[in-house]
Amino acid sequence: MLDFKCGAVLLSLALLSALALPVLAAEPDTPAVKLPTAEQPVETLPEGDLSAADETPAEGEWAPLPHSVLYYGTVSDISRDETGRPVRLALTSVAYGDYVMNLSADTVWVDCAGRAPSDPDTLAVGESVYVFHSPASTRSLPPQSAAYAVVRNIPQDIVGTHYHVVEAVEANPDGSVRIITDRDGLYLSADGETGLSRYDGGAAPALSQLRAGDRIMAWYGAVAESYPAQARAQHILVLSALPSAAPEEGESLTITLDGQPTQLTGRYENGTAVIPVAAVAQALGYEVTYTPRPEGALVTVESDSFQVRLNIGSSQIVGVTKLDGAVGMTAPQDYGVAPYIVNPGTTWAPARLFELLGRTVALEGTQLTVQ
């Protein structure tokens, strides 16, 4: 049974995070107060009116997405690879419905009580977990998203842990620091009494070694009801910074799809893995269409329930649901490279576009994986 103190802390932070714009259209009976899941509304259109779905929102029209979204529930099924390691979790929750979380090598597994890594191989059906996942999810039933952190072993009277991406670190004269995260919506203070450790088991870092871009799990209790919100970190577990060792600019990438090596190759451009869209999408079972337009060509990648729109020359990539009763769009995603076409007609775009379709995209060295 989940502990109520830890759950209450996580819930309070989740409600604060709800100030950031969520991702997709809500079901009609979505309760007014809930964790900020990917089902909450972004832009809802009148039933049958798809006119706005043909337009890419102008820059500045959307509030920034949160770094992650919190879901809690019970494991109902586990898909494992040939080594026995979990690669996909099916979850169920009375309050928040069924969900599928796609796992990758970048997913971290955390023991809340032990303030340490947890062994994913010991996960069992029936276990209750918290999952911090991508704000982008599919509109499939159940929806799918990429899991960033899976939190286990959450007993009573234990301060909760939260997944954050460090945006800035401000040093104070007394040696303490202020960690800015959650799109400048949360300030975490840390000092000499704050415990520090590393997820990879290496030597504990100093507060002065924390950098923007680091991923952390932070344990803290009460959150001050201010804006930005404020809390004091009792312990910080430093995760691997993203990205890890990057390829050289223009270097070729090998591509693995659903665990299977392919003959396809991508490239590393401007800090981003880019891929030939049609070849990769079709290999994954998606439909790809090309529509010439005076203002610039439109390339779409779609499943039965969701469509990703690539406007050639625009770095903003959006997703549009195709399900009846859930008309809406994701906030535009900028992955660092605008989709472009190379003669005689190959469209190249960031591989992370598949995250909008519920896939997990990981780059390790020159090995690009879409799962």
pLDDT per residue over 311-368, tens digit each? 999 888 988 877 665 556 667 788 889 999 998 889 999 999 998 888 888 888 888 9
Which tokens sit at 351?
Answer: 């591989």
Cα–Cα distance, 245 to 265 (Å, whole number): 19
Residue 157 CB coordination number (10 Å): 9
Contact 125, 77 (CB under 8 A): yes
252-370 maps to CATH 1.10.287.610: no
Residue 327 is predicted with a pLDDT of 54
CB 289 within 8 A of CB 308: no
What residues in the chain have per-residue pLDDT under 50?
A: 1-62, 242-243
The pair of three-digit structure tokens given for residue 350, joined into one six-digit string: 């960031």
DSSP string, 209-249: G--TT-EEEEEE---BSSSSEEEEEEEEEE---SS-SPPPT
Q: What are the residue boundaries of the structural domains of the chain, listed by start?
A: 1-20+64-242, 252-370
Exposed, middle or buried: residue 78 (CB in 10 Å: 0-12, 13-18, 19+)?
middle
Report the distance separating Cα 89 and Cα 80, nearest Å. Answer: 9
Token pair 């990981």 is found at: 362
- Token digits for 304? 């039965």
What are the residues facing 233 on neighbouring strands? 220
Question: What does the block give as tokens for 75?
Answer: 């494991």
pLDDT reported for residue 328? 62
Model's pTM, two decimal places? 0.60
Q: What is the largest CA-CA distance in the chain?
A: 63
AA letter at 121 = D
Find where tokens 């004091």 sit.
232
For 268, 278, 359, the CA distances from 345, given in Å and listed in that order, are 20, 10, 25
What pLDDT is attached to residue 37? 35
Amino acid (one-letter) located at 255: I
Q: CA torsion, points 371, 83, 247, 207, in degrees to nearest 10?
A: 100
363, with CB counted inside 10 A (0-12, 13-18, 19+), is: buried
Q: What is the distance between the alpha carbons of residues 155 and 57, in angstroms, rounded to a whole number?
A: 44
Q: What is the pLDDT of residue 157?
A: 67
What per-residue confidence (pLDDT) applies to 365? 83
- The residues, any chain, with a CB within 8 Å of residue 74's CB and separated by 6 or more, are 91, 92, 93, 126, 127, 128, 129
Provide the pLDDT for residue 135: 82
Q: What is the DSSP letter of 355?
A: G
Q: Count CB neighbours of 290 within 10 A.
A: 15
The token duo for 37 is 């899941």
Pairing of strands 316-321, 306-311: antiparallel
Residue 326, pLDDT score: 52
Per the CB < 8 A criterion, the answer to whether 166 and 123 are in contact is no
